Chains A and B, each alone.
Chain A
Amino acid sequence: MKFIYQTWWKVLAVVLIFYTLIAGLQFRVPRLDILHETIRNLYFHVPMWMAMLSALVLSVFFSIRYLAGGREEDDLASVECVNTGMIFYVLGLITGMIWAKYTWGEYWSNDPKQNSAAIAFLLYCAYLVLRNSIDEEQKRAKISAIYNIFAFPIMIVLLFVLPRLTDSLHPGGAGGNPGFNKYDLDSHMRVVLYPAFIGWSLLAVWIASIRYRIRLIENKRHDIN
């Protein structure tokens, strides 16, 4: 856990996010029908999901470590990663919904990927409810770690497998998106998009690490010595 006390990656996160904010709004983007300038939202909508995925992958990693070692810190790290993941989840949904309003006409267009995202959101809400339903700390840590590991592959199937099999307005679907598909992502956009992935993911890890450290301090204060 030395990593979370180091500074270099936090500086990197700030630099990358400022870079994507400036470059994302200034650089040249392809001219496409329907999308027009809203294509720049790609730099802000997709990285939210990347950040969420990073946080959730980390939380599964800590859940596995908890089951293997049984240390309480791992459980705290795991739950804080899920909490952070949920923040980015909501941000991803909101950025997507605003974008959908201007390109597809509705905030919620019954798109398979939107629906899947809503279901996966319920999945993690269930995780948080499960945690609240158990009082005993060790039991809570163990059972929620098990559910977290159990839920993760289902979430992957929901978000990244099922929407690709049906007609989706999102790119990558079987029907394809009339306005935008993966072949339209040219090298100009990659220059901004990939750093944005890294920057926002690092920011998610940073938020999670701060929340984790707050939880550690709280635990220490509540300790009976």
Chain B
Amino acid sequence: MKLAGQTIELLKKEILLEWRSKYAFNGVLLYIVSTVFVCYISFNLNPGFKESSGYSIVWNILFWIIMLFASVNAIAKSFMQESKSRLLYYYCIAHPQAIILSKIIYNALLMGLLSVLAFTVYTLFFPNNVNDLLYYLFIVLLGSTSFSTVFTMISAIASKAGNNGTLMAILSFPVIIPVILLLVKVSKSAMDGIDRSLGYGNVGILLAINAIVIALSLLLFPYLWRD
């Protein structure tokens, strides 16, 4: 019960800090919009791309790749922006599990909001008819949650090991590939309007991966924060 209370307090603090500066939110939103625009311009250099047969496949994959890089950039900051003395202060007053849990929930909320906005901007520039829109949005939210759970723990590890961007990418990409593969597969079937029940197995595995990653983060983070 104490853990839940601490988590909620820390979560409130994270949201309040973000609300005051809006740095991460605006930064990542701008990142997404500019990436989408770069893609839009580059793809339109080739006339007839929209009518080509591979358009819907590229559409789906490109969206997930943009989301992948946006979330790496957004979440890599989650431990970097904290100064060493402030972290020390948190560790004195709160349980380490509450800290990692609040970071995961905060990142999931942030990425969920951002991914819905990104999806809106993306469909504006790249029109495509998604047959099962509600299911697609559900997968987008599930995907952003999965990115948050995986990247939060990896960014904690990377921040302890010298805090460079290369390390974050090296450590996180092999871990995220199975998630991305499942997401692309499930979202493609949502786009084609294939019966939802056929994708439940894959969604189940995504949820299972999330559960494993959260459990491991809770188990391992208490060992990580101590210096």
Chain A positions within 8 Å of B, measured between CB atoms, are 67, 116, 119-120, 122-123, 126, 129-130, 133-134, 139, 142-143, 145-147, 149-151, 153-154, 157-158, 161-162, 165
- Mark interface residues in B210-227 (1 if CB within 8 Å of A CB, else 0): 001000100010011001
Q: Which residue of A lies closest to B212 (CB)?
A: A153
Contact with A along B158-200 (1 / 0, CB 8 A): 0011101001001101110110011000000000000000000
A154 to B173 CA separation, bound complex (whole angstroms): 12
Interface pairs (14), CB distance under 8 Å: A116-B178, A122-B173, A122-B174, A123-B175, A130-B171, A139-B160, A146-B223, A147-B171, A150-B153, A150-B216, A150-B220, A154-B174, A154-B209, A157-B209
Instruction: Evaluate contact between A133 and B178: CB separation under 8 angstroms.
Output: no
Which residues of the other chain, B, contact A162 by a CB distance below 8 angstroms? 178, 181-182, 205
Q: How far is the CB of A163 from chain B (nearest CB, A)?
A: 11
Q: How far is the CB of A118 from chain B (nearest CB, A)?
A: 10
| Cβ–Cβ < 8 Å partners of A150 in chain B | 153, 157, 175, 216, 220
For A143, list chain B residues within 8 Å (CB). Answer: 157, 160-161, 224
Query: For residue A154, which residues in chain B have a CB less than 8 angstroms away from its CB?
Result: 174-175, 178, 209
Interface centre among B164, B201, B202, B223 (most CB of A within 10 A): B223
Question: B62: shortest Cβ distance to chain A, in Å?
Answer: 20
Nearest B-chain residue to A112, judged by Cβ: B181
Given A122-B173, A149-B216, A165-B202, check contact A158 B178 (CB 8 Å).
Answer: yes
CA distance A111 to B173 in the complex (A): 20
Q: Which 10 interchain pairs have the tightest Cβ spacing?
A: A123-B174, A122-B174, A126-B170, A146-B220, A119-B177, A67-B223, A134-B161, A126-B171, A153-B212, A154-B175
Chain B residues whose C-beta falls within 8 Å of the C-beta of A146 in the assembled complex: 157, 220, 223-224
Chain A CB within 10 Å, residue with most, of B174, B212, B216, B223: B174
Contacts of B205 in A (CB 8 A): 157, 161-162, 165
> Across the interface, which residues of B come within 8 angstroms of A165, CB to CB?
201-202, 205
Q: How far is the CA of A149 from the CA of B171 in the complex (A)?
A: 13
What distance in Å separates the Cβ of A82 from its nearest Cβ neighbour in chain B? 14
Residue in A closest to B205 when the chains form the complex, CB atoms? A161
Kindly list chain A residues whose C-beta atoms are within 8 Å of the C-beta of B178: 116, 119, 154, 157-158, 162
By beta carbon, the residue of chain A nearest B169 is: A126
Instruction: Give chain B residues whose Cβ lies under 8 Å from the Cβ of A149.
Output: 216, 220
Known: A150-B153, A150-B157. 19 other contacts (CB 8 A): A67-B220, A67-B223, A122-B173, A122-B174, A126-B171, A130-B170, A130-B171, A134-B162, A139-B160, A139-B161, A142-B223, A146-B157, A147-B171, A154-B175, A154-B178, A157-B178, A161-B205, A162-B178, A165-B201
Smallest CB gap from A135: residue in B = B162
- Cβ-closest chain A residue relative to B164: A133
Which residues of B have CB within 8 Å of A120? 174
